[in-house]
């Protein structure tokens, strides 16, 4: 099918007959990500690689592109009237909009996978949209809703193609950026993740720190056809959650960033509100599962904006097996207690 015949993102959203402001908000995010994509592609030619020489609220060194992406998303969404406030991995506090009459709350990791920026490996923007439920002045408490309350979520992957992956609660659809016309075109409809897999993603260098259930699962994968799984497994670790999740949406697999004993009081490395929740919404909408090892991530009641969580997500049968190992008390330390 030629690109002229493919469905454009605005037409796709109109056909869904969703709330007009939500549709326009999604288009605002998509437009911001096209600008981010352009900067990512220019890289050194735009003098936008390397460290900015500053640290973020997470205590991580900020890359120039982190700051560029964050500022662009904040500035391009602060005056639309569609949002009450925003929250970003790069900002300690929430970011009230200039026209705070909007009903929506936007959360994002502006550039996930920053350690890959300077080595030209795929990175991405992750976003989550909630409704502001209270009529009071917007505050952090408005954001502290379980992931099941999201009205939309997605990511834009800056890889060989720039791809927007989106759910508004009725399936997962993918849109590829037509670089010539600067339009996202529908290229994969109603994604479904295979229930089984032969591929797992985890940072193996942390093996000695894992809880026993994770170690048991991975060792059984490594034993392959000679062990109880009776099939050989492949391993991937891109160190960009967006890229690992995208692979799983396309061909199945399981992604794990579990609790480990390096920092036992932290439930995990990844952020609940703007990494795990949007990815979990996408994964479940595509027929997969997403858990912290013991329960669905989307049911977690947040207590802090930047709280972390243990993440095990992907092909349903594989995730259920790992959950079984945790819940049958193979002493899985999930919440740091």
Residue ranges in contact with ligand P6P by CB under 6 A: 112-115, 203, 239-241, 257, 269-270
- Tell me the closest approach of the beta carbon of residue 124 to ligand P6P, in angstroms: 8
Decide whether 13 or 241 has the Cβ nearer to ligand P6P.
241
- Tell me the closest approach of the beta carbon of residue 89 to ligand P6P, in angstroms: 9
Q: What is the DSSP letter of 197?
A: -
Neighbouring C-alpha atoms within 13 Å toward the C-beta of 15: 8
- Tell me the closest approach of the beta carbon of residue 196 to ligand P6P, in angstroms: 23
- State the Cα angle at 96 between 95 and 100, rounded to 5°: 155
Instruction: Please check whether residue 63 is in contact with residue 114, taking contact to mean a CB–CB distance below 8 angstroms.
Output: yes
Instruction: Please check whether residue 200 is in contact with residue 295, taking contact to mean a CB–CB distance below 8 angstroms.
Output: no
Structure tokens at 195: 């229930």
- Tell me the closest approach of the beta carbon of residue 135 to ligand P6P, in angstroms: 35
From 210, 162, 196, 234, select the one nearest 325 (Cα to Cα): 210
Decide whether 112 or 284 has the Cβ nearer to ligand P6P.
112
From 87, 90, 88, 98, select the one nearest 59 (Cα to Cα): 90
Structure tokens at 45: 């030619």
From 183, 239, 129, select the one nearest 5 (Cα to Cα): 183
Decide whether 25 or 270 has the Cβ nearer to ligand P6P.
270
Segment (H or E) for 244: helix 241-251
Decide whether 97 or 310 has the Cβ nearer to ligand P6P.
310
- Tell me the closest approach of the beta carbon of residue 70 to ligand P6P, in angstroms: 15
CA distances (Å), origin 122, targets 12, 29, 56, 133: 26, 19, 21, 35
- Tell me the closest approach of the beta carbon of residue 271 to ligand P6P, in angstroms: 8
- Tell me the closest approach of the beta carbon of residue 104 to ligand P6P, in angstroms: 25
Decide whether 51 or 80 has the Cβ nearer to ligand P6P.
51
Decide whether 62 or 114 has the Cβ nearer to ligand P6P.
114
- Tell me the closest approach of the beta carbon of residue 177 to ligand P6P, in angstroms: 21
From 107, 121, 202, select the one nearest 157 (Cα to Cα): 121
Could you give the maximum distance between any two Cα atoms of the chain, in Å?
Answer: 62
Q: Closest-CB residue for ligand P6P?
A: 241
Structure tokens at 73: 């998303």
Segment (H or E) for 66: helix 64-77
Decide whether 145 or 240 has the Cβ nearer to ligand P6P.
240
Decide whether 37 or 97 has the Cβ nearer to ligand P6P.
37
- Tell me the closest approach of the beta carbon of residue 22 to ligand P6P, in angstroms: 26
Decide whether 5 or 119 has the Cβ nearer to ligand P6P.
119
Residue bearing tokens 């990791």: 109
């Amino acid at each position: 099918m030629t690109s002229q015949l493919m469905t454009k993102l605005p037409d796709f959203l109109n056909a869904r007959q969703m709330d007009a402001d939500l549709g326009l908000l999604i288009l605002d995010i998509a437009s911001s990500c096209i600008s981010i994509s352009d900067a990512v592609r220019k890289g050194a030619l735009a003098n936008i690689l390397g460290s900015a020489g500053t640290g973020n609220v997470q205590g991580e060194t900020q890359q120039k592109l982190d700051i560029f992406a964050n500022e662009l998303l904040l500035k391009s969404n602060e005056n639309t009237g569609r949002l009450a406030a925003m929250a970003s991995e790069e900002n300690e506090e929430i970011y009230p909009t200039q026209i705070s009459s909007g009903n929506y709350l936007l959360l994002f990791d502006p550039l996930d996978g920053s350690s890959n920026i300077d080595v030209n490996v795929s990175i991405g923007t992750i976003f989550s949209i909630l409704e502001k439920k209270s009529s009071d002045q917007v505050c952090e408490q408005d954001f502290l809703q379980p992931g099941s309350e999201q009205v939309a979520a997605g990511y834009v992957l800056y890889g060989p193609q720039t791809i927007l992956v989106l759910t508004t609660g009725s399936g997962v659809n993918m849109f590829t950026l037509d670089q010539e016309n600067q339009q996202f075109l529908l290229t994969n409809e109603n994604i479904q993740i295979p229930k089984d897999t032969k591929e797992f993603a985890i940072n193996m260098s942390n093996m000695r720190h894992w809880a026993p259930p994770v170690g048991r699962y991975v060792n059984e994968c490594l034993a392959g056809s000679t062990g109880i799984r009776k099939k050989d497994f492949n391993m991937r670790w891109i160190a960009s959650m967006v890229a690992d999740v995208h692979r799983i949406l396309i061909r199945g697999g399981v992604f794990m960033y579990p609790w480990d004993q390096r920092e036992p009081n932290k439930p995990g490395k990844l952020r609940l509100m703007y990494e795990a929740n949007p990815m979990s919404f996408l994964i479940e909408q595509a027929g997969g599962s997403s858990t912290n090892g013991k329960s669905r991530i989307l049911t977690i009641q947040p207590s802090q904006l930047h709280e972390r969580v243990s993440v095990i997500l992907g092909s349903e049968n594989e995730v259920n097996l790992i959950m079984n190992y945790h819940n049958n008390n193979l002493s899985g330390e999930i919440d740091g207690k």
